[in-house]
Amino acid sequence: MKDLIRRLQPDSFEDIIALVALFRPGPLQSGMVEDFIDRKHGRKPVAYPTPELHHDALKPILQPTYGVILYQEQVMQIAQAVGGYSLGEADLLRRAMGKKKPEEMAKQRSIFLEGAMGQGLRREHAEGLFDLMEKFAGYGFNKSHSAAYALLSYQTAWLKAHYPSAFMAAVLSSDMDNTDKVVTLIDECRAMGLDVAPPDINRSDWMFRAAGERGLVYGLGAVKGVGYAAVEAIVEARQRGDDFADLYDLCRRVDLRRVNRRVLEALVRSGSLDAITANRATAMADLPRALQAAEQQSRNTELGQDDLFGMGATPADTPEAPANEPGVQHTEWPEHERLAAEKDTLGLYLTGHPIAAFESELGGFISCRLYDAAMGAGVDRGAGRREGERRVVLAGLVVAVRSRITQSGRRLGFVTLDDRTARLEVVLFGDVFQRYRQMLEKDTLVVVEGDLGYDEFSDGYRLSAERVYDMAGARQAFARRLVLRVGAEQAGNGFVQRLEQALAPFQRGDCRVCVDYAGRGGTCRLRFADEWSVRPEPELLAALEQLLPDAGVEVDYRR
């Protein structure tokens, strides 16, 4: 849609209505959008509707859309003006074209041709007009529908441009139960330069909310395992006093009947308590003690007990408290464990993504990110493929896998991939699914090659896979060169022998080896003989990175 706006450059509300009609789910009709844009900007002459089928009677009908048949009302008006239809008959023609029933269309074609030739049109001219009307009627909006959406689009676009934080907070809140949409919207926030702060026990409410002009705060309602009653109790406790100071303060002040241990664990794992704890590992270790201290205080309060001198000793100081001292800091969870906990509780990776470590390398051979693929970027007629398909290589983390048996007895596999920009469904037919099903484990990074096309059943784009690779397999399939950057100071002291030892076990591959040597007098590239071509497996790369640290090893995917 952004690309369409940029290319069209609408300068009137009529153009905005047309923009909505042009941007429809599914593959765009061949040449229709390009024709509309080129005619608007004067790069093509305007004809009514085409130079070959031009008819002066159609000018007042098609002039607002530069001669392109875009709305269903235009189809009805053309039927009246050229085919001699009444208004009621024209509406029947529109319905027949939308339903695409062959017998009804044959009947309507005959009526239209008879009426058009009765008004002086040649048969070939009349047939051409009917074919063009039929093509666009099956695709087009009615104009009233487009106008209503255009007004809504204009208003929301204005809000997005002038109040981006508030607008995106509202959109995220409306879809916070739909993780797939939240993933795309979070990426849109990043593209807009908005800072999306993780959920915060001292800042977050139930819904997402704006934080200044360029920021948002994640809503606690989007944390799985934290219900509305729990968030209500947290907000109430916060409103009665200051911000929560630490985990113990939180447990003492909230109603533990509504904010139970399961809720608190979800808050820890989602990062909602990062602002008041040393780290998530420490918070999870301290949670039993904090709950016990809070429960002890609650019991004391109910019994009217206090310390001997009425000084209000804290529960952590009472004999009943466990021996572990508050403030003992534990080592934070490993990155993969921390991110996995985020995904379990938020449904997505927020403060990082497992694919981040591979993004620069993946950029060497993937066709596009999943967001672009989900929008059908670059889908056109490919050699040897069905119309509306494109051969692509995509990469993402497996977030869901399912399969089913078709009526013919074939097994289909469906895999959902996530690369932080969006999620996309991949379908694997029969033998392909059986061949690669062992790779398709959840939270595994895979690279998929296949045909990207529009699926009418799911009303979206999806990939029909032919090959699936893990990262090691993708390197072997797509790598062209292994480039080693060597300086003069590294080249001595037995370097050549150590390099030979590292490369030798991985010979007989397809990846050429090159050395970019930087000496005191200049630089050069040394290409190893074909017999030294290698398989760029993880073990080889690890050995070379030890030999050449500081980005001295690069896998080059350029053809």
Encode 274-287: b = buried (16+ Cβ within 10 Å), e = exposed.
bbbbbbbbbbbebb
Domain with residue 399: its CATH number is 2.40.50.140
In this prediction the pTM is 0.69
Residue 143: strand, helix, or coil:
helix
- Are the C-beta atoms of residues 533 and 512 closer than 8 Å to each other? yes
Domain boundary among 335, 369, 401: 335
One domain for residues 466 and 434:
yes
Domain with residue 169: its CATH number is 1.10.150
* Residue 183 binned pLDDT confidence (cut-offs 50, 70, 90): confident
Name the percent of the chain lying above pLDDT 70: 91
- Are the C-beta atoms of residues 442 and 207 closer than 8 Å to each other? no
Residue 353 domain-assigned (yes or no): no
Whether 428 has a pLDDT exceeding 90, the answer reads yes
Mean pLDDT of the chain: 86
Q: Which residue has the higher pLDDT, 385 or 212?
A: 212
* Residue 320 binned pLDDT confidence (cut-offs 50, 70, 90): very low
Whether 317 has a pLDDT exceeding 50, the answer reads no
CA distance 270 to 116: 68
- Are the C-beta atoms of residues 526 and 551 closer than 8 Å to each other? no
* Residue 311 binned pLDDT confidence (cut-offs 50, 70, 90): low
pLDDT in tens, 4-14: 777 788 888 88
Domain boundary among 457, 474, 491: 474
One domain for residues 233 and 293:
yes
Domain count within the chain: 4
Whether 196 has a pLDDT exceeding 90, the answer reads yes
Q: Which residue has the higher pLDDT, 429 or 493?
A: 429
Listed residue (528, 414, 428) closest to 482, CA to CA: 528
Q: Which residue has the higher pLDDT, 305 or 537?
A: 537
Residue 340: strand, helix, or coil:
helix
One domain for residues 443 and 514:
no
Q: Which residue has the higher pLDDT, 374 or 135?
A: 374
pLDDT in tens, 363-385: 989 999 998 898 877 665 343 44
Whether 491 has a pLDDT exceeding 60, the answer reads yes
80-89, 159-168, 295-304: segment of lowest average pLDDT: 295-304
Domain boundary among 145, 173, 198: 145
CA distance 538 to 281: 30
One domain for residues 100 and 126:
yes
pLDDT in tens, 511-540: 999 999 998 888 999 999 999 999 998 899
Listed residue (178, 181, 177, 185) closest to 226, CA to CA: 177
Helix or strand run (H / E) with residue 234: helix 228-240
Q: Which residue has the higher pLDDT, 19 or 294?
A: 294
pLDDT in tens, 29-56: 546 788 888 899 999 999 998 888 899 8
**Full residue range of the structural domain in which residue 275 is found:** 163-322+331-335
Looking at residue 184, what is its pLDDT?
A: 85
Whether 282 has a pLDDT exceeding 50, the answer reads yes
One domain for residues 486 and 453:
no
- Are the C-beta atoms of residues 9 and 19 closer than 8 Å to each other? no
One domain for residues 246 and 363:
no
At position 31, the amino acid (one-letter code) is G
Residue 199 domain-assigned (yes or no): yes
pLDDT in tens, 53-75: 899 899 999 999 999 888 888 98
One domain for residues 461 and 374:
yes
One domain for residues 305 and 376:
no
